[in-house]
Amino acid sequence: MSGSLFHYTDIGAVRAILENCELWLTDLRFLNDAQELNDGVVFILDALGKERKDFNGLGEHFDDAVKLLTSSFDDHISVWIDDEPTFVCSFSEAGDQLSQWRAYGGYAIEFDRAALSADLELFDCVYDRVKKIDIAEDLVDQSIHGLAADFKLYDGSAGPDSLDFLYSLVRTASTFKNESFYEEREVRSIIDMEIPSKNLKFRQRGNILIPYMVASFSLECVKAIHIGPMRDQDLAYTSLRALVSSLLRSHVADGGGVEHEIAIIKSAIPYRS
């Protein structure tokens, strides 16, 4: 399982993901956990509020950088996020985990992490409180000094890449999760998107429209499809093997790798009705 990431989902999503070689990234505010992002925001704001030394002699530029990052981060979370929301797709480092089967569906697509990272930028979620504090303080320190250096270089104005310092804080906040979810060992693909955008899509959940965007990947990223503990697991195996065989044949016909294989693996966890 080393070097693998697992995307737990249902059979309809498995088929769509494999046939289209696309993953859906959901607006972070619409995920199942109502506290998503809030956990990370607290740590970033705490780090921004701490006193720190201007060890590069940047003077007033240092103070201006602290003020701008603090106000911009707060504004982004409370106001700008409507115009530039954060979209995520979740994976787990844990394979064949009962809690994941119960929460997210009876199937899991196993991706090769190294191969997938060539198509998507991946971030490990952080659960430990002490580690969150250390990461937040280090990143805030780097961002403040980087922005202050830009102010000095551009005579008090923000440089062309100055917004990157803010985005790095928002992205890091998006990876902080409550320690209660540690068992999930989540890894996220994270993308910020300005809206309106032709790439913004919607799907229905109950009476709500869920904003999402699509990200493509290469079929060679997929190592296996895992079937969770379920009734008729053998039939599920038979139909999935037929689907994968058909997809790989089409993939080869379209110029894809001849040697690539996708395994079909049954969960070792016994099914209980």
Q: What is the pLDDT of residues 86-95, one digit of tens each?
A: 999 999 999 9
Q: Residue 199 in contact with residue 193, Cβ under 8 Å?
A: yes
pLDDT tier at 1 (50, 70, 90 boundaries)?
very low
Residue 50 in tokens: 């701490």
Return the structure tokens found at 94.
Answer: 């844990």
Residue-wise pLDDT for 108-131, tens only, equals: 999 999 999 999 999 999 999 999
Q: Is residue 185 part of a domain?
A: yes
Residue 129 resides in a domain: yes
- CA 47, 83, 89, 118: dihedral to nearest 10 degrees? -90
Strands 4-9 and 186-192: unpaired
Collapsing DSSP states into helix, strand and coil, what is residue 123? strand
- What is the extent of the structural domain holding 155? 4-266
Tally the domains of the chain: 1
Phi-psi region of 146 (alpha: psi -120 to 50; beta: other; left: phi over 0): alpha
Contact 69, 159 (CB under 8 A): no
β-strand pairing of 222-227 with 263-266? parallel
Q: Kindly state whether residue 257 falls inside one of the protein's structural domains.
A: yes
Most confident of 44-53, 133-142, 148-157, 172-181: 133-142
Alpha-carbon torsion 134, 136, 137, 143, what sign? positive
pLDDT at position 159, please? 79
- Estimate the crossing angle of helix 38-49 against helix 129-153, to 10 degrees: 60
Q: What is the pTM of this model?
A: 0.90
271 inside domain: no
Report pLDDT digits (tens) over 27-83.
988 987 656 678 889 999 999 998 877 667 777 888 899 999 999 888 877 777 888
With respect to residue 99, please indicate whether it lies within any of the assigned structural domains.
yes
pLDDT confidence of residue 256: 67
186 beta partners = 92
Percent of the chain clearing pLDDT 90 (strictly above): 65
| Tokens 């530039």 -> residue | 84
* The predicted structure's pLDDT at residue 78: 75
Please report which confidence band the pLDDT of residue 199 belongs to, taking 50, 70 and 90 as the band edges: very high
**Mean pLDDT computed over every residue of the chain:** 90
- Chain segment 203-229, per-residue pLDDT in tens: 999 999 999 999 999 999 999 999 999
Residue 108 Cα to chain centre, angstroms: 16
273 within a domain of the structure (yes/no): no
- pLDDT band of residue 271 (cuts 50, 70, 90) is confident
Residue 272 resides in a domain: no
Going by C-alpha positions, the residue among 266, 218, 255 that lies closest to residue 22 is 218
- Is a pLDDT exceeding 90 seen at residue 254? no
Residue where the block lists tokens 């998503």: 36
